[in-house]
Homo-oligomer: A and B are copies of this chain.
Amino acid sequence: MNNRHDDTWRASRRGFLASAAGLTATGTAAVIGSAAAETVEPGELKREFGRQTEPFWGVHQSGILTPQQTHTYFAAFDLITVKRGDVADLLQAWTLAAARMAAGQTALPAEGPFKPAVVPKAGDVADEVPDVAAMAADSGEAMGLRAARLTVTFGFGAGLFVKDGVDRYGLAARRPEALIDLPKFVGDQLVETHTGGDLSVQACADDPQVAFHAVRQLAHLAEGIAHIRWAQSGFLPNAGTGGTPRNLMGFKDGTHNPPVNDPGAMAKYIWAGREGPDWMQGGSYAVFRRIRIALEHWDRVSVAFQEQTMGRAKFSGAPLGRKSEFDVLDLASVDKDGNPVLPENSHVRLATAASNEGAEILRRAYSYNDGVSFTAERWPPWRQGLEYDAGLFFGCYQRDPRTGFVKIFDKMARFDMLNQFVTHVGGGLFACPRGAVPGEFVGQRLFAPA
């Protein structure tokens, strides 16, 4: 490491960060006290890159109830700073940058569009160029693109509160009970390089470049405070018609979600309430699971078997024994042999609220597609070799994971016929705090003095 260079750069960047956030990096109290001064009001944002924006500010974070965009880039960060104030500074800077980008702006204000300040001589190598102060406000690959309905959703992993038994930031006492350590489920093959993280950032947009651009700017702002632990791209088909998109298994995915337009249902199932800390009221708990699908295996079995496994018709999406995609499941009917029309171990039967004492989660899954890599299938004929590293980047939101994902998935992990084809290889649980209104930053109440 060239520490001289790095230190120089870091000092400059921290100045930049503080400047962007309207602070002088003097600690948490100052953060909160001075936050309003430089706050960007939604109405003031210029639409540099066109329309198609989703609102960033609000009591709930965006990207949860937002109709799903076609692309996502998710990143989990590990915090490397020892200072609580750094974390608050970072969230402040992230909030303002995310708000700007959601409105189609560069992450930070720039002095004109990428105006070079110092022209180095040909032959200089990058690290000897002195004009770090002229560093771009933004890496620039979103210039000319629309905001593409960008949303950025922040979450806190257990490591923000306690890591390896250490209360790094004096927040251990504020860890919500609902932010549990996820249990090991039957069949889990989680790998470290795709699991966990102290902070999560999920960008979603109708353009893959816009989604990645957003996380990249935030990662850049985090230099010296946090770094990416793992990341995952995801996509949906450009369905266009507004119908339920199909996942890589060829089945419609996301049919059964609670009604996002029903505030009562959302309050009951999705938003954290008074049972937890104030900074989580209006927030939600996100569970992500990187689920590798043995597509080669799936493609070899009959559609009939696929349908029995899922519990839905492949073409229409209708539950077995029903006519239309959105018909309620028929849990009671039996065939002439007395067997359930909707098999006991079918995916949708095991997932539905009626099979889980009313448990509901809001699914927001993307497909992922990372080429091929060596793998060993979980079930006969136990093929080993290069197979698609593709599947589902599952995400879901709930008021409490204990009565949401854990409640539902514990049984599914044991009995779901779909497990013959899918393996959970990564993921995490994150407490996504309530949203910020102009003048606040996301998570600010967590950092307020007790």
Residues on A lying within 8 angstroms of B by beta carbon are: 1-2, 5-6, 9, 73, 113-127, 129, 131-132, 134-136, 139-146, 148, 193, 206-210, 212, 216, 219-220, 227-233, 235-241, 243, 246-251, 295-309, 314-315, 339-340, 343-346, 367, 369-373, 379-383, 385-386, 388, 390, 420-421
21 contacts between A and B (CB under 8 A): A73-B369, A113-B315, A116-B302, A119-B308, A120-B302, A120-B308, A122-B344, A132-B302, A134-B304, A135-B302, A139-B250, A139-B299, A140-B249, A140-B250, A140-B303, A144-B239, A208-B235, A212-B248, A220-B296, A230-B371, A230-B372
Q: Output the residue of A9, A241, A372 with the most chain B CB within 10 A.
A: A372
Question: A305, B120: Cβ atoms under 8 Å?
Answer: yes
Cβ distance A410 to chain B, nearest Cβ, rounded Å: 21
Cβ distance A348 to chain B, nearest Cβ, rounded Å: 13
Question: A141, B6: Cβ atoms under 8 Å?
Answer: no
Cβ distance A109 to chain B, nearest Cβ, rounded Å: 15
CB nearest to A110 among chain B residues:
B303
Question: A305, B231: Cβ atoms under 8 Å?
Answer: no
Report if A141-B237 is in contact (Cβ < 8 Å); known contacts: A122-B345, A304-B134. Answer: yes
Cβ distance A277 to chain B, nearest Cβ, rounded Å: 31
CB nearest to A206 among chain B residues:
B238
Residues of chain B within 8 A of A371, CB atoms compared: 230-233, 370
Question: B314, A114: Cβ atoms under 8 Å?
Answer: yes
A407 to B158, CA, bound (A): 54
Residues of chain B within 8 A of A73, CB atoms compared: 369
Report if A372-B304 is in contact (Cβ < 8 Å); known contacts: A1-B381, A216-B295. Answer: no
Report if A208-B127 is in contact (Cβ < 8 Å); known contacts: A140-B250, A141-B248, A141-B250. Answer: no
CB nearest to A134 among chain B residues:
B302
A5 to B129, CA, bound (A): 64
Cβ distance A300 to chain B, nearest Cβ, rounded Å: 6
Residues of chain B within 8 A of A297, CB atoms compared: 126
Residues of chain B within 8 A of A136, CB atoms compared: 250, 299, 302-303, 306, 314
Cβ distance A60 to chain B, nearest Cβ, rounded Å: 27
Question: B129, A239: Cβ atoms under 8 Å?
Answer: no
Question: B314, A126: Cβ atoms under 8 Å?
Answer: no
Question: A386, B125: Cβ atoms under 8 Å?
Answer: no
Residues of chain B within 8 A of A230, CB atoms compared: 371-372
A220 to B219, CA, bound (A): 39
A141 to B240, CA, bound (A): 14
Report if A231-B140 is in contact (Cβ < 8 Å); known contacts: A114-B315, A131-B302, A305-B124. Answer: no
Question: B390, A212: Cβ atoms under 8 Å?
Answer: yes
A114 to B318, CA, bound (A): 14
Residues of chain B within 8 A of A139, CB atoms compared: 248-250, 295, 298-299
Residues of chain B within 8 A of A212, CB atoms compared: 248, 369, 390
CB nearest to A118 among chain B residues:
B304
CB nearest to A231 among chain B residues:
B371
Question: B127, A380: Cβ atoms under 8 Å?
Answer: yes
Residues of chain B within 8 A of A390, CB atoms compared: 212
CB nearest to A339 among chain B residues:
B122
Question: B381, A5: Cβ atoms under 8 Å?
Answer: yes
- CB within 8 A of A300: which of B9, B124, B345? B9
Cβ distance A230 to chain B, nearest Cβ, rounded Å: 6
* Extra A-B contacts (14), CB below 8 Å, given A119-B304, A120-B304, A131-B304: A2-B381, A6-B381, A120-B308, A122-B346, A123-B343, A125-B420, A126-B301, A126-B421, A127-B301, A139-B249, A139-B298, A140-B315, A208-B369, A209-B236
Question: A140, B314: Cβ atoms under 8 Å?
Answer: yes
A386 to B193, CA, bound (A): 10
Cβ distance A129 to chain B, nearest Cβ, rounded Å: 5
Report if A300-B135 is in contact (Cβ < 8 Å); known contacts: A126-B305, A127-B381, A248-B141. Answer: yes
Cβ distance A376 to chain B, nearest Cβ, rounded Å: 12
Question: A299, B216: Cβ atoms under 8 Å?
Answer: yes
Residues of chain B within 8 A of A305, CB atoms compared: 120, 124, 126, 129, 131
Q: Output the residue of A124, A237, A241, A373 with the most chain B CB within 10 A.
A: A237
Residues of chain B within 8 A of A233, CB atoms compared: 369-371
